[in-house]
Structures are given as C-alpha cells and as structure tokens.
C-alpha cells in the first residue's frame, strides 16, 4: 500500500507542477530579422514559413502602429497569456493551457515598413496541439481587427 501511495503522490506532483517544459533559448529575432523557424512537428505556426507549408504557415497580421500598440493590451486581457518581453518592434508572450498547464511561446515582430505583424506560436512540448496555436493567432488577429 505505501508504494501505491508514493506513486499516486508522484503523479499528483507532476500534474500540479504542470507541463510547462523549459523556456526556449533559440527563439527571438534571428539573423536576417526573422522569427525562428518551426520544428518539423505540427504544433507550431509562423508567418515566416513558406506559403506552401500548409502545416506551419499562417498569414502575418496587417497592422499599423495603432494596432501594434493595442497588441500588448489585448494579450494582457486574455486569460492565461503573460507578456514576457517587449521592445519597439518585438513582443514575446507565454500562453498556458487551462487544465494540463502546457505552455506555448508566442512571438510578434512588427514591420512598420510593410504594415505587418509577423507571428510565431509554438508548443514547448509534445507533438500535436490540435490546432490551438493557429486558433489562438487567428483569435488575436480578430481582436485586433475588431478594435
């Protein structure tokens, strides 16, 4: 019986600590002024992928300076999203799922010369995200367009 209790306690600790994974060090603005490429897994989307890459490509967000200024507020008002870093043209946030506490990394890169916000949203762990990263970016796009 004590062994069974130890196993149950270990499982509870893992579940309570969440599935956040390790904060990645390879993301951010890359050489050439782009965001990092997606891994080969289907749990990442980026506007820097090839348009032919249906698994990873997502359109950048059309945005002027006003929309860029609204983005941090929209993210801050969204449950379970925390803005981690922000400068003049770059914003990094973390989104945590409600039940399993998986963490996804969100990045936004504003290009004022093209009036675009490039995006990247990727799960830290696992292989599939059931389309959550894509849906999240599309929801953010809609919120920016509605304001």
Read off the pLDDT of residues 59-114 as tens digits, 9 standing for 90 and up: 999 999 999 999 999 999 999 999 999 999 999 999 998 888 899 999 999 999 99
CATH number, position 46? 3.30.310
Phi-psi bin for 28: left (phi > 0), alpha (psi -120 to 50), beta?
left
d(CA 15, CA 18): 5
Residue with the larger pLDDT of the pair 12 and 135: 135
Number of structural domains (the chain) is 1
User: Is residue 4 very low, low, confident or very high in pLDDT (cuts 50, 70, 90)?
Assistant: low
Read off the pLDDT of residues 20-64 as tens digits, 9 standing for 90 and up: 578 888 899 999 999 999 999 999 999 999 999 999 999 999 999
Contact status, residue 63 vs residue 116, Cβ threshold 8 Å: yes
The pTM (predicted TM-score) of the whole model is 0.84
What is the domain extent for residue 67? Answer: 2-146
């Amino acid at each position: 019986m004590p062994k069974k209790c130890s196993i149950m306690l270990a499982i509870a600790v893992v579940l309570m600590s969440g599935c956040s994974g390790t904060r990645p060090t390879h993301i951010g603005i890359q050489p050439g002024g782009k965001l990092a490429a997606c891994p080969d897994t289907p749990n990442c989307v980026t506007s820097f992928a090839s348009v032919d890459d249906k698994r990873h490509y997502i359109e950048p967000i059309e945005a002027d300076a006003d929309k860029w200024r609204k983005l941090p507020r929209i993210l801050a008002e969204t449950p379970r999203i925390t803005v981690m870093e922000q400068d003049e043209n770059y914003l990094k946030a973390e989104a945590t799922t409600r039940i399993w506490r998986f963490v996804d990394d969100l990045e936004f890169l504003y290009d004022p010369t093209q009036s675009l916000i490039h995006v990247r949203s990727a799960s830290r762990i696992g292989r599939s995200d059931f389309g959550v990263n894509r849906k999240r970016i599309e929801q953010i796009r809609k919120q920016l367009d509605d304001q």
